[in-house]
Amino acid sequence: MTAPDDRGAEGPGGLDRPRRDTTPAIEVRELRKTFRIRGGLLGQDRQVVAVDDVSFAVPTGGVLGVVGESGCGKSTLARLILGLLPPTSGDVLVEGQRLSAMDRRARARLIQPVFQDPFASLNPRRRIRDIVAMPLVAQGGIPARQVRDRVQEMLARVGLTAEQGERFPAQLSGGQRQRVAIARALVLRPRIVICDEPTSALDVSVQAQILNLLAELRRELNLTYLFISHNLAVVEHVASEVAVMYLGRIVERAEADALFRAPRHPYTRALLASVLTPEPGLGVPDVGLGDTLPDPANIPPGCRFHPRCPVAEPRCARQAPRPVDGAECLLLEAEQRPAA
């Protein structure tokens, strides 16, 4: 785990209550979420384990990147941390407080989301300024004038004009809409922002603008991000630490530099190999994952990655790996303890 960052002490958002600097901004303990899928007339109900015994902590000012394929549970994890879904078991602590013990308004002051699709997450029938004002209005008791000023200030901060504030979402481009979503997320001056694929729906040139804006805001406001993306190159650019998820579990977690320089888990290696950088002549790599696809309703025994793993051994189908230095792989355990 990274050393806690103490720049947060004077941060503009931390005015309300004294806070010990060593308290992680986000802490997740043995978090688990299962869903029941109705089997239909004759079929049996099936259980989907979306998040399976996940624990981690993110220090104030840090950025934890969460990567994995669709269905790996990364968006469920985001929803659990936002309090939008109750966990089946385990705890989410935000700035040392249990999320489940907080009321909605207190939670909104601490933690806010930015979602993937700025088309779906903005009310099409409201003006931009009203959309951005909504979290302030929902808090109640803030004078209208103050709300207006705070909204203007926030719009300007994300690069939107007062005139754009008068428009409706449909009149803005995708990038401008994502700026609106960011303004709305930051208008309450939260400490933590959960970014769930914030640039996946955007063009690359606009993605770069939004990533740069998120980075500036984080430095300026000493924000902590949980940054979810399927794009490893994006995560490499923004994250200080990276968690790789596979079928509900974090199979590898490491400092971003270490993970990208020397990935340890075979799944992380395959993901990294799949990134197509704009370098001609290299061709498309054979990532060696085969044709079996992960099914969260049918998690394989032993190591859950073994059916796709290019280096799996027979024991991987029987024995579940334990985490060793942040990576869950039997082959790595063997490396660590040759004399066992």
Partner 1 sequence: MSAPLLEVEELRVAFGDTAAVRGASFTVARGETHCVVGESGCGKSVSALAVMGLLARGGRRAAGRLAFDGQDLLALPERAMARLRGDRVAMIFQEPMTSLNPAYTVGSQMAEVFTRHRGGSRRAALDRAAGLLAKVGITAPGMRLGQFPHQLSGGLRQRVMIAMALMCDPELLIADEPTTALDVTVQAQILRLLAELQRELGLAILLITHDLGIVARVAHKVSVMYAGEVVESGPTPALFAAPSHPYTRGLLGCVPVPGKVRRDEALGSIPGVVPRIRPGFQGCGFRDRCAHAAPACEGAVPRQQAAGGHAYLCRLPPGWAEAERAA
Q: Which residues bind partner 1 (CB under 8 A)?
A: 69-70, 173-176, 203-209, 211-212, 215, 230-234, 236-238, 240, 256, 260, 270-287, 289, 291, 293
| Cβ 14 to partner 1 shortest distance, Å | 22
Kindly tell me which of 48 and 108 has the beta carbon lying closer to partner 1: 48
Nearest C-alpha neighbor of 62 from the set 198, 184, 238, 185:
238
Return the amino acid letter for 145: R
| Cβ 76 to partner 1 shortest distance, Å | 17
| Cβ 170 to partner 1 shortest distance, Å | 15
Token representation of residue 249: 């579990």
Kindly tell me which of 44 and 277 has the beta carbon lying closer to partner 1: 277
| Cβ 290 to partner 1 shortest distance, Å | 9
| Cβ 42 to partner 1 shortest distance, Å | 16
Residues 63, 251: Cα–Cα separation, whole Å: 18
State the sign of the Cα–Cα–Cα–Cα dihedral 149, 152, 158, 159.
negative
Kindly tell me which of 41 and 282 has the beta carbon lying closer to partner 1: 282
| Cβ 238 to partner 1 shortest distance, Å | 7
Residues 61, 64: Cα–Cα separation, whole Å: 10
Kindly tell me which of 107 and 218 has the beta carbon lying closer to partner 1: 218
Residues 204, 100: Cα–Cα separation, whole Å: 38
Residues 212, 193: Cα–Cα separation, whole Å: 15
97 phi and psi angles, rounded to 5 deg: -105, 145
* Per-residue 3-state assignment (H helix, E strand, C coil) for 84-96: CCCCCEEEEEECC
| Cβ 274 to partner 1 shortest distance, Å | 4
Number of H helices, E strands in the chain: 11, 12
* Alpha-carbon torsion angle 14, 188, 243, 88, nearest 10: 100
Kindly tell me which of 92 and 180 has the beta carbon lying closer to partner 1: 180
Kindly tell me which of 161 and 173 has the beta carbon lying closer to partner 1: 173
Residues 43, 49: Cα–Cα separation, whole Å: 18
Token representation of residue 136: 């302030």
Kindly tell me which of 167 and 230 has the beta carbon lying closer to partner 1: 230
Kindly tell me which of 28 and 238 has the beta carbon lying closer to partner 1: 238
| Cβ 277 to partner 1 shortest distance, Å | 5
- SS3 state at 338: coil
